[in-house]
A and B are shown apart, each in its own frame.
Chain A
Amino acid sequence: MKFFTRSVTSLMLAAVFSGSALAAKTDITIGMALEPPNLDPTGGAAAAIDEVVYANIFEGLTRFGADGSVNPALASEWAIEEEGKRYVFTLQSGVKYHDGADFTAEDVKFSLDRARGEDSTNAQKGLFANITDVEVIDDTTVAVNLENPDGNLLFNLAWGDAIILDSASAETAATAPVGTGPFKFSNWVQGDRIDIERNPDYWGEAVALEKATFKFISEPTAAFAALMAGDVDAFPNYPAPENLPQLEADPRFSVVLGSTEGETILSMNNKSEALSDVRVRKAIAHAIDRQAIIDGAMFGYGTPIGSHFAPHHPSYLDLTGNSPFDQDAARALLKEAGVEGDLTLSLKLPPPAYARRGGEIIAAQLREVGIDTEIENVEWAQWLEQVFKGKDFDLTIVSHTEPLDIGIYARDDYYFQYDNPNFKELIGAFNVETDPEQRDVMLKQAQTMVSEDYVNGFLFQLAKTGVANNKIEGLWANQPTQANDLTGVSWTD
């Protein structure tokens, strides 16, 4: 009997080893919490769009690397002329779209003009605001003329919102995206998954994977089960931080903690009756115990922030000292503002755990200084409608995941309705500044200004909690932009 068991075991082991020795896997299933509403990154704001298509299906002139650097993509090189007011891009030659059409300078002009056009639905139209015209010089050369010198242009063009589309297929990009990337779109089963497959005619370095599937699992419990069962190979943004220690202990998985661009904030409606008073906003900022929120909502994953700025950015200033947890200070400020003990604020919470759990913790913390909250849990569609568009809220919790997005505080009529001419001027000057040292100074000024005006309650920088089968290599550890770049991903055996 013993012999029998042993021989069966060795047979099984042999089978396992010979199986793995044959060939490394070339397909991968990536888990995502949210399904994209469409697949056109130039026409929608949802992060999930870029998480499927960025760098996989679509490419822009420049692109973000895993470390957040801006690298050449469809533009192989560029020259800056006229003191920063004209960029001349040399394009890669021999690039074809997935449908066989040639990529030319005309497409660049088409895409940029489309993105900044009057009727454009681009979610980041501001990225292109400084462009006066796009000039086709020849098939592989294109010039972008600017109104003011712009140090951000290469960064701006690396965003998913600035990818290059073919004029022939641009209109159908939402459901049948055709790009120049190393993967082409193959299938979308709504509510379940999106399949992409290797583009054999890719102009750049060939990718190791032949097939990739993005599987949408919104329920954290289901995400855990799917990982455990091997239905998904990796979950780059694993939605339930409470399970991470358990996954970490499992030899099949590796858990990689990285940084994201997600400043998680308690957004305040700066034009609502009570919150238009900076003392009330400051009181709220003092009433919040960031560490308790990070521990309670994110199980310790997250870095406290004191302004709307990512701690891993070189220009980061630690401003958490402007709003330390100090309940007495909060009570004193409320008294000074004359709203002591009779302040009830609405708190609308979108679905992610950081908002739902964080919201309950914040409500309890605010109650301790005498502010009552009415919690309302909303779905994303309602959130966009009521909070983001309708501005019908006092407080909400959301993570702003775009890179270097402090500029949103200069926008007119943005949902938290911060309206400070000095700040607008500062961002205006920053956008045309090209000197790196000066830019650094301005970014620090901007952080300080937002922090000292207590525009929002700055909570923590969202951690990227990636879980993957430990035989997978090449997934991004950090998330400098919303993307699941699969170009460098492979199985080790």
Chain B
Amino acid sequence: MASTTRKRFRNLVPGAFLVVLFFGAAIVSFFYTPFDVETLNIKQRMLTPNAVNWLGTDHFGRDILSMLMVGARTSLAVAFIAVGIGLLFGVPLGLMAASYRGGWIDEFIMRGNDLVFAFPALVIAIMITAVFGPGAVNAIIAIGIFNIPVFARLTRGASLSLWNREFIMAARVAGKNSARISIEHILPNITNLLIVQGTIQFSLGILAEAGLSYVGLGAQPPTPSWGRMLADSQTLTTIAPHLALFPGMVIVLTVLGLNLLGDGLRDWLDPRLRRER
């Protein structure tokens, strides 16, 4: 029993630890950062990690640790809202498609889904930011749009199998309409799936934000952003590798943490695995 429990939390614990760490850093950055990230100090630039600047300073003499903390805010906020957009639009669309399964509404929603799926996400994101100008808000919209079909498809798929179950029949017999059944009975039963998928999408959102910032289409300076920190340090890698190392590591660890958390949550929440306990 004890060993299976440990096995079950093998992913969850380190994942949750990393995610809490980065969320914590982002939240703390609202009240406190070791140094101000908008003040440049050219004389102190490219210092290697030391007692004062734990992770060193960048090419403008800003404290890298502070930059990463504030950058976490940008990355997490963009990814969070983008996943929110996906859930907010994708889940109702998926529920609706499932309740009208086989009908023209279902067809309409799912083919629209396929259409959005068929576009390469990053190219569209670049297009959106090119038309409306670069910035965090446009990055959120661009990433958010591509989260919609992911959640719509997942919701529909999961709901379809539920619609044939006895308790749904019972609800129907009791006179509830499709919309009420979807909200009261279907939705609670697929929440665990949505949480898991949301975690995975969250990590993809962070990668997408970093990618957009890297090519200059994400948050604009002086707002710190992990992707732009990487881009700025690109020509400096030969003389100051830590400028690229730390933001790179933070991106990797955050995404890793979210993926582990997603896997861990699935292990924990999945009813089939639960029964085996």
Contact = CB atoms under 8 A, between A and B. Distances in A.
B233 to A, nearest CB: 10
A240 B222 contact: no
A364 B38 contact: yes
Contacts of B61: 296
Given A360-B221, A361-B42, A363-B222, A377 B238 contact: no
A360 B238 CA distance: 22
A457 to B, nearest CB: 17
Nearest to A364: B40
B220 interface: yes
Contact of B235 (A242, A359, A364, A377): A242
Contacts, number: 61
B239 A242 contact: yes
Interface string B212-238: 000010001110000000000011111
A375 B222 CA distance: 8
Interface in B4-57: 38-40, 42-43, 45
Interface residues of B, number: 21
A65 interface: no
A361 B234 CA distance: 18
Interface in A103-130: none
A242 B61 CA distance: 15
A117 to B, nearest CB: 37
A87 interface: no
Interface in A210-265: 220-221, 224, 240, 242-243, 245-246
B134 A224 contact: no
A376 interface: yes
A138 B184 CA distance: 98
A224 B134 CA distance: 28
Say whether chain A's binding surface is mostly helix, strand, loop, or mixed: helix
A359 B222 CA distance: 10
Contact of A246 (B45, B60, B134, B239): B239
Interface bracket on A: 20 to 34
B38 A376 contact: no
A436 to B, nearest CB: 41
A363 B239 contact: no
Contact of A376 (B133, B222, B234, B238): B133
A363 B60 CA distance: 12
A360 B222 contact: yes
A295 interface: yes
B156 interface: no
Interface string B234-250: 11111100000000000
Contacts of B238: 224, 243, 246
Given A246-B239, A295-B43, A363-B221, 14 more contacts: A220-B234, A242-B236, A243-B235, A245-B239, A295-B45, A296-B61, A360-B60, A364-B38, A367-B38, A374-B220, A375-B221, A376-B220, A377-B134, A377-B216
Interface of B: 38-40, 42-43, 45, 59-61, 133-134, 216, 220-222, 234-239
Interface of A: 220-221, 224, 240, 242-243, 245-246, 292, 295-296, 357, 359-361, 363-365, 367-368, 374-377
